[in-house]
């Protein structure tokens, strides 16, 4: 029977006749035997395999290099050596896939920059193996979190005819012949395109998920989103995953509570359930990681209105590259000052000026702010962006026109405000930013298997 190394290493007693598949991390030879360190991806740890003259296939062992794929039958026994409780005494060794000596991942540690150039091989390193296990576990836990609280997972479209954020940073989807684009009056004639109209990759599932919120009550979408913004930073990608819950009969306060609850829940989950993989990041990537996570797990987030945040920044005596000013967006240096230096914990800033936020946010009575919220965390800055939605037909229609959008494009969205509209709220949690937070990895390109950034699309 096939065993996972994860299960074997946790075994309470010796086990006879086990069967393991995996990849060789290292080989050490003595005169009459060799040790292979084998990893099968089920956990960070390797199993030590003793191959000796009694092993069928022993004659092969010197041909087995780092990176080779092997299958081993043997017995799990207590290891007489130091450093591991169990080892595998091989009875039969098979070389499944050879790895010649030019295998790029030999023992020494490689830089993240180099590993990005071999994204097809980097999952085989300890660090990226740990990262992608945590990523998968977290994604699963996110679904569980919502399921346990009565939320329904809605599959919102990837190809869309709407621009959710109104920012226009979208990738076109077309089957038009780019060498010979049909035009009418100098404009592209999208009527001849696949959908008969302009189509894009979604920047957010929000507008679509709102329609289901106004029926199923508590919903969320969790999928890939795409932005063609040309920001080459360590926190932006052209393709990223977003978790977007939407709550009916709810206001900004309920939204903030949910944003805080899910963030703290997921931090605690990783600390408890991914401890072995997390320890790698705490040791090699960010030595303050466990302290940061503990702090998030144990303390309530600070909440403060945008206006107060600007005051606080202005009075901080700090020389920022961008001077904080009411009406301007918070820069990441401001966000980091608030969470890392001033509060030393996550903070939720809310009630932003309406002119720097999206059209769908609920307008406050002061006439100049909207019920927006951003959750800011140390090292990263914004991890969640959300709002209470404008549920009133007139103010929403007015805002759409004011911003120069065509209300006809939003007819279906407006109609949800015409029939049975209710106060509702939601947010988007950036999945990769969450992974940066929980692992301490400083570059977003290193928390997703295949990063997409401007001028980078190798695989």
User: b/e per residue, 93-126, with b = 16+ CB within 10 A?
Assistant: bebeeebeeeeebeeeeeeeeebbeebeebebbb
How far apart CA 347 and CA 335 sit, in angstroms, is 9
| CB of 346 or CB of 428, closer to ligand 4AD | 428
Quote the least distance from Cβ 330 to Mg ion, whole Å: 10
Q: How many residues bind Mg ion (CB under 5 A)?
A: 1
Shortest reach from residue 255's CB to ligand 4AD, in Å: 9
**Closest approach of Cβ 107 to Mg ion, in Å?**
42
Work out the number of other CB atoms within 10 angstroms of the CB of residue 77: 14
Does 237 bind ligand 4AD (CB under 6 A)? Our answer is yes
366 to 405: interface string for ligand 4AD, x by CB under 6 A: ----------------xxxxx-------------------
Helix (H, G, I), strand (E, B) or coil at 313: helix
Number of chain residues interacting with ligand 4AD (CB under 6 A): 21
Stretch near ligand 4AD under the rule CB under 6 A, chosen from 66-74, 289-297, 362-370, 423-431: 423-431
| Longest CA span, the chain | 84
Q: 205 vs 385, which CB is nearer to Mg ion? A: 385
Q: How far is the CB of 141 from ligand 4AD (least distance, A)?
A: 18
List 37, 277, 432, 446, residue binding ligand 4AD (CB under 6 A): 432
> Which residue blocks in 198-328 are alpha helix, DSSP H?
206-216, 252-273, 275-284, 289-298, 306-314
Calpha distance 452→459 (Å, rounded):
9
Among 166, 324, 385, 386, binds Mg ion (CB under 5 A): 385
| Token pair 């919220």 in the structure block, residue | 373
State which of positions 51-110 bind Mg ion (CB under 5 A): none
How far apart, in Å, are the Cα atoms of 259 and each of 45, 240, 342, 386, 454? 34, 19, 21, 9, 30
428 binds, among ligand 4AD, Mg ion, none (CB under 5 to 8 A by kind): ligand 4AD
Residue 383 interacting entry, from Mg ion, ligand 4AD, none, C-beta within 5 to 8 Å by type: ligand 4AD
List, in sequence order, the alpha helices (H) in 106-172: 112-117, 126-148
Which residues 6+ apart lie within 8 Å of 12 measured at CB?
none
Q: Does 213 bind ligand 4AD (CB under 6 A)?
A: no
- Chain residues binding ligand 4AD by CB under 6 A are 164-165, 204, 206, 227, 236-237, 240, 242, 244, 382-386, 426-428, 430, 432-433
């Amino acid at each position: 029977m096939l065993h996972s190394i994860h299960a074997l290493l946790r075994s309470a007693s010796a086990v006879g006749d086990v069967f393991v598949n995996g990849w060789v991390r290292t080989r050490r030879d003595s005169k009459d035997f060799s040790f292979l360190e084998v990893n099968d991806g089920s956990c960070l740890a390797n199993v030590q395999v003793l191959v000796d003259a009694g092993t069928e296939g022993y004659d092969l062992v010197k041909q087995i290099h780092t990176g080779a794929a092997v299958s081993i039958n043997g017995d799990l026994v207590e290891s007489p050596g130091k450093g591991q409780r169990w080892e595998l005494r091989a009875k039969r060794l098979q070389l499944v896939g050879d790895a010649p000596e030019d295998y790029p991942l030999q023992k020494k540690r490689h830089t993240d920059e180099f590993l990005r150039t071999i994204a097809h091989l980097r999952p085989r390193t300890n660090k990226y193996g740990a990262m992608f296990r945590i990523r998968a576990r977290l994604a699963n836990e996110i679904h569980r979190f919502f399921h346990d609280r009565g939320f329904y997972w809605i599959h919102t479209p990837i190809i869309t005819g709407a621009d959710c954020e109104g920012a226009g940073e979208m990738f076109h989807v077309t089957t038009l012949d780019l060498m010979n684009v049909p035009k009418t009056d100098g404009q592209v004639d999208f009527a001849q395109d696949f959908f008969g109209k302009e189509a894009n990759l979604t920047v957010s599932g929000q507008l679509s998920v709102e329609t289901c919120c106004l029926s199923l009550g508590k919903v969320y979408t969790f999928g890939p989103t795409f932005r063609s913004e040309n920001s080459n930073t360590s926190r932006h990608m052209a393709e990223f995953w977003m978790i977007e819950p939407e709550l009916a009969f709810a206001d900004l306060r309920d939204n903030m509570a949910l944003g805080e609850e899910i963030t703290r829940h997921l931090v605690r989950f990783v600390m408890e359930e991914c401890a072995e993989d997390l320890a790698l990041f705490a040791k090699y990537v960010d030595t303050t990681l466990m302290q940061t996570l503990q702090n998030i797990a144990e303390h309530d987030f600070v909440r403060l209105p945008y206006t107060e945040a600007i005051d606080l920044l202005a009075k901080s005596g700090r020389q920022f590259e961008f001077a904080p000013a009411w009406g301007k967006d918070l820069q990441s240096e401001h966000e980091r000052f608030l969470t890392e230096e001033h509060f030393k914990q996550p903070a939720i800033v809310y009630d932003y000026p309406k002119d720097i936020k999206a059209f769908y946010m609920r307008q406050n009575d002061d006439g100049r702010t909207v019920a927006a919220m951003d959750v800011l965390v140390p090292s990263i800055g914004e991890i969640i962006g959300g709002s209470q939605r404008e549920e009133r037909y007139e103010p929403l229609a007015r805002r759409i026109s004011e911003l120069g959008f065509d209300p006809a494009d939003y007819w279906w969205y407006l109609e949800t405000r015409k029939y049975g509209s209710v106060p509702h709220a939601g947010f988007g949690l950036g999945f990769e930013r969450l992974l940066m937070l929980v692992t301490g990895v400083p570059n977003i390109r290193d928390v997703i298997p295949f990063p997409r950034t401007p001028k980078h699309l190798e695989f």
